[in-house]
Structure 1
Amino acid sequence: MNVRQNGAARTRRILAGVNLAAAAVLAGQLMVVAPAQAVPGLVRVQSTGPIDSDWKTTNAQCPPGTTVLGGGGRINTASGQVVMDTMLPLSDGSAYSVTGREDDNGFAGNWSITTTSLCAPAPAGLETKTMFSPDNSTNKSVTLPCTAGKKAIGVGGELSGGLGQVILEELRPDADLGSVTVTGAEDANGHAANWSITAKAICVTPPASLERVAGPFGLLDSTDVKTNTAICPAGKRVHGVGGEIEGGAGQVRMTGVLAASTTSVTVTGMEDENGFAGNWGVRAYAVCA
């Protein structure tokens, strides 16, 4: 299903030489400085919530005067039995929010959520777009485009009605950053009730050198835990986060999708408690500038 939607006149040779040398120095400075922080004031905020065995939500609050551009989360100590069914910016742009729910078998141990937000004063052209999928009991995907001329810097998704039995398999800024894709899949036990996807795209007038970097994708196999990291090129910083599971058939959960540092995004996939005989992989995406 595709709801898928940068001369003065030459008077004397020596003066020309001085001007050219000065211009070269200036150009060198611009080449070093300009890419370092395409969105001024960008900060990474991290918050870890309570440790217990209840479903929970943890927000990473942006500092005053800033708005959320992207974010993600990680489940701490839950052995693949907790689903992050909400990873999205709050509607007022004040934080990134992650909700975790235990699957239908539950989990006896305690666990917590670590959430990260990438925040900055509102950049040019900032808008947050929202799209909803149909509400039914089938696996589904939503592709949400940015307004023409803008690019996605952040992505969010929520599974309404999944109750821990539906997996966020894709939370992905697409290759040209013109859209985002959010995909949900029911787990191995299925889910009889209706559920839906809310997809969110944080879009901006693209800053210079904005690009999506994908982590190197290894061989598909049945290793029970895999981690993939996307690293921004030298001089660039992470502005947005994404990840996906390939071939997991609802039995592999993304237990971590977050900016591990200012220059890298790490995504972890983990099989459920019953394991998974099929071959699967995990990929991290970093939106860099």
Structure 2
Amino acid sequence: MNVRPNGARRIHTVSAMVGLASAALLVSQVALVAPAGAVPGLVRVVATGPSNSAWKTTNANCPTGTTVLGGGGFVTGAAGQVVMDTMLPLVDGSAYSVTGREDDTGVAGNWSITTTALCATAPAGLQTVTAFSASDSANKSVTLPCPVGKKVLGVGGELSGGLGQVVVDDLRPNADLGSVTVTGVEDGNGQAANWSITAKAICATPPAGLERVNGLGILDSTSVKSTVATCPAGKRVHGLGAEIDGGAGRVRMTGVWASSSTTVTASGAEDENGFAGNWGVRPYAICA
């Protein structure tokens, strides 16, 4: 996605807690057997929130004594008309949070959010940094570097003021894992009000063998699609990200999640008006 960065950036190590925790969560934890060199004690937590027609937030909470390294989520139901406009770690590192909002035409049926969190004992040098874009009504992108000597383990992003009419086009750990990029694009109906991006990078002293693995999807006009990125043999998923290629705001990222201990799945769907052009969805697995 070639979007010119917009506005000055401010970098912080804290941000405000986002959203409201959903009630009646279905939560599961899966311990990930870590190979030599990976962050020890890695666990994948999966939480599914209620199914209804209201905007909602689902948090996947890390077990006591662990902190979040990365995460994501997916929408079930109404996929092309719900925007996941918040996907980020909570300020204290206790959970990963995903918020979904219906677009301006709304959804008649029920839908839910499932959030996944990758949690572990805090690795050496763990630090979360945050950057903010300008607030205006233009498409925009934020690129946020990790501090010197540290690499990306996880990515987070939030669209403030988009109200379901701005989509997350990039939630990307960049190739050298030295930075992350979060891009927002207005949908086909546009958004007259001002909106902004918050980007987060979860950084740490890199564990042995840390690398980013891409999943390469097909670039075509199929209305719904998903793609998988798989870690090399002997490595496990520690963090993740995704991007939409060519959607022009008419394609929503409907999921990016750790689908197993070794795979990341990303999915996308065209909005209710469809999209005539070719597009693809590209997942990223951060493996060690």
- What is the TM-score normalised by the length of structure 1? 0.88
In structure 1, give the amino acid aligned to 2:271: D
Distance, in Å, in 1 between the alignment partners of 2:61 and 2:122 is 15
8 Å contact from structure 2 (residues 34, 42) kept in 1: no
Structure 1 residue matching 2:260: 3-state secondary structure: coil
Q: 1:217: how far off?
A: 3.5
Distance, in Å, in 1 between the alignment partners of 2:82 and 2:129 is 28
Distance, in Å, in 2 between the alignment partners of 1:191 and 1:142 is 19
8 Å contact from structure 1 (residues 44, 118) kept in 2: yes
The correspondence of residues 88-99 of structure 1 with structure 2, limited to 5 A, is: 88-99=88-99
Structure 1 residue matching 2:116: 3-state secondary structure: strand
Query: Does the C-alpha gap of structure 1 residues 129 and 193 become closer, same or farther in structure 2, counting only changes over 3 Å?
Result: same
Query: Does the C-alpha gap of structure 1 residues 280 and 34 become closer, same or farther in structure 2, counting only changes over 3 Å?
Result: closer
> Larger helix proportion, structure 1 or 2?
1
Distance, in Å, in 1 between the alignment partners of 2:51 and 2:220 is 32
The alignment of Structure 1 onto Structure 2 pairs a total of residues equal to 261
In structure 2, give the amino acid aligned to 1:82: V
Q: 1:2: how far off?
A: 2.8
Q: 1:36: how far off?
A: 4.7
Q: 1:35: how far off?
A: 3.8
Distance, in Å, in 2 between the alignment partners of 1:159 and 1:120 is 27
Q: 1:74: how far off?
A: 0.3
The correspondence of residues 209-220 of structure 1 with structure 2, limited to 5 A, is: 209-218=209-218, 220=219
Q: Which position in structure 1 is the counterpart of 2:16? A: none
Does structure 1 residue 223 correspond to structure 2 residue 222?
yes
Distance, in Å, in 1 between the alignment partners of 2:237 and 2:72 is 12
Q: Which position in structure 2 is the counterpart of 1:162? A: 162
Q: Which position in structure 1 is the counterpart of 2:180? A: 180
CA RMSD of aligned residues (A): 1.4
Distance, in Å, in 2 between the alignment partners of 1:84 and 1:197 is 13
8 Å contact from structure 2 (residues 37, 209) kept in 1: no
Q: Which runs of 4+ in 1 moved over 4 A?
A: none
The correspondence of residues 19-34 of structure 1 with structure 2, limited to 5 A, is: none
Q: 1:34: how far off?
A: 8.0
Structure 1 residue matching 2:253: 3-state secondary structure: strand
Structure 2 residue matching 1:279: 3-state secondary structure: coil
8 Å contact from structure 1 (residues 36, 237) kept in 2: no
- What is the TM-score normalised by the length of structure 2? 0.89
Q: Which position in structure 2 is the counterpart of 1:65? A: 65
Q: 1:78: how far off?
A: 1.0
Query: Does the C-alpha gap of structure 1 residues 204 and 134 become closer, same or farther in structure 2, counting only changes over 3 Å?
Result: same
Q: 1:37: how far off?
A: 5.8
Q: Which position in structure 2 is the counterpart of 1:251? A: 250
8 Å contact from structure 1 (residues 85, 167) kept in 2: yes
Q: Which position in structure 2 is the counterpart of 1:233? A: 232
Q: 1:221: how far off?
A: 1.1
Q: Deviations over 1:2-27 (max 9, x none)?
A: 3697xxxxxxxxxxxxxxxxxxxxxx
Q: Provide the identity percentage.
A: 75
In structure 1, give the amino acid aligned to 2:150: K
In structure 1, give the amino acid aligned to 2:55: W
Q: Which position in structure 2 is the counterpart of 1:197? A: 197
In structure 1, give the amino acid aligned to 2:242: G
8 Å contact from structure 1 (residues 139, 186) kept in 2: yes
8 Å contact from structure 1 (residues 177, 212) kept in 2: yes
Q: Deviations over 1:234-273 (max 9, x none)?
A: 0100000100001100000010100000100000010001
Does structure 1 residue 74 correspond to structure 2 residue 77?
no
Instruction: Name whichever of 208-217 and 127-136 sits farther off.
Output: 208-217
8 Å contact from structure 1 (residues 37, 237) kept in 2: no
Distance, in Å, in 1 between the alignment partners of 2:37 and 2:260 is 14
Which structure has the larger Rg? Answer: 1
Q: Which position in structure 2 is the counterpart of 1:208? A: 208
Structure 2 residue ranges without an equivalent (≥5): 10-32
8 Å contact from structure 1 (residues 35, 208) kept in 2: no
In structure 2, give the amino acid aligned to 1:111: W
Q: Which position in structure 1 is the counterpart of 2:265? A: 266
Distance, in Å, in 1 between the alignment partners of 2:197 and 2:51 is 27
In structure 2, give the amino acid aligned to 1:2: P
